[in-house]
Amino acid sequence: MDQLRTIEGNIARLTDTLLADYGLGRHIDRIEPFSQPDRDVIIDLLGKLKRLLFPGYFRDPSYRVYDMRHSLCVLMEDVAYHLGQQIAIALREGATVGAERAQILDAQAQELTVQFLDRLPEVRALLETDLQAAFDGDPAAKSMDEIIIAYPGLQAIMVNRIAHVLFELEVPLIPRIMTEHAHSRTGIDIHPGATIGRYFFIDHGTGIVVGETTVIGDYVKIYQGVTLGALSTRGGQSLRGKRRHPTIEDRVTIYSGASVLGGDTIIGHDAVIGGNAFITSSIAPGTRVSVKSQELEMKPGKVNW
């Protein structure tokens, strides 16, 4: 009881101390409610979009399917309504707006939602090539069904394909929420701004990082632990909008642990980058890059049987 009375006796003082700290004028001191997209709603939308992209693989048992068109129409309306709401919130960027401005932003959100949903066939066409690349590139894959249902690489690519369209439409915040969710689930960190061509294959995937201004061509394969990053970020916000990440041309393979850095770095088509390579300058097409200096040293030790 003495300890409880001590806590109770200090609550008012602790509250006043924190309120005083809120008054220092920093960005984190904002007290008025901040209207932001709902992360849980966006994650739920990803699940629904996955059902639109792969209709036979991910179904909600609560939906009664009378016919395909009816089921699709119900799901499409659900996605459009909630996505439009979240985009409208994102467009406000946390600010309180008047009724006239709110009406303009709501109309803009509806237009962006329609533009996004119009591009789903384009996303599906790209995912078909990614699925084929995964099946062709992984002898452990027993079927394409297994890849769709279980492979984290395809899941991360799918979310990135969705988020990239929203990024191109200049929808704030939501694309990053989507890709960071995929990052937390798969260990694969692809910025929604990265431009990725057809037949993209991620093998294993854990620890992969692909930066915002990365450009990846067709038929590219990358393994776990690969970083396609910036050479330096010491410039901070002054680097915004500038090319910071590499270009990977067609039919390039990058093995595990390799780092390719810099906005001026171009990996030429048909090149192969070996594991643990550290590359900060361009590589000519067809080049095979490997790390030569590493050696294994083995010393006899005691064996306890």
Burial of 69 (0-12, 13-18, 19+ CB in 10 A): exposed
Q: Scanning the structure block, which residue is given the tokens 């590589």?
A: 283
pLDDT of residue 111: 97
Distances (CA, A) of 218 to 196, 250, 266: 8, 5, 14
pLDDT of residue 90: 95
Among 109, 104, 111, residue whose Cα is nearest residue 88: 109
Query: Greatest CA span in the chain, whole angstroms?
Result: 81
pLDDT of residue 195: 97
Among 185, 179, 152, 149, residue whose Cα is nearest residue 164: 179
Residue 154 structure tokens = 């395809």
pLDDT of residue 97: 81
Domains of the chain: 31-185 (1.10.3130.10), 194-292 (2.160.10.10)
pLDDT of residue 59: 75
pLDDT of residue 239: 59
pLDDT of residue 276: 95
Q: C-alpha angle 129/134/137, rounded to 5°?
A: 120
Q: Scanning the structure block, which residue is given the tokens 């093998």?
A: 203
Alpha helices, H only, 23-96: 39-53, 68-92
* C-alpha–C-alpha distance, residues 227 and 278, integer Å: 10
Residues 6+ apart with CB under 8 A from 6: none
pLDDT tens-digit profile of 110-135? Answer: 999 999 999 999 999 999 999 999 99
Going 164 to 170 to 175 to 176, the CA torsion angle's sign is positive
Q: Scanning the structure block, which residue is given the tokens 């984290």?
A: 152
pLDDT tens-digit profile of 230-239? Answer: 987 665 555 5
Tell me the residue length of the chain: 305
Across the chain, what does the average pLDDT equal? 91
Cβ 220 vs Cβ 201: under 8 Å: yes
DSSP notation for 241-254:
TS--S-EE-TT-EE
The arrangement of strands across the sheet holding 253-254 comes to 201-203, 221-223, 253-254, 272-273, 288-289
What pLDDT tens digit does each residue of the chain (305 aa) get? 555 568 888 899 899 999 999 999 898 888 776 678 999 999 999 999 999 999 888 877 666 655 778 888 889 999 999 999 999 999 998 777 888 998 999 999 999 999 999 999 999 999 999 999 999 999 999 999 999 999 999 999 999 999 999 999 999 999 999 999 999 999 999 999 999 999 999 999 999 999 999 999 999 999 999 999 998 766 555 556 678 999 999 999 999 999 999 999 999 999 999 999 999 999 999 999 999 877 777 888 777 76
* C-alpha–C-alpha distance, residues 101 and 255, integer Å: 50
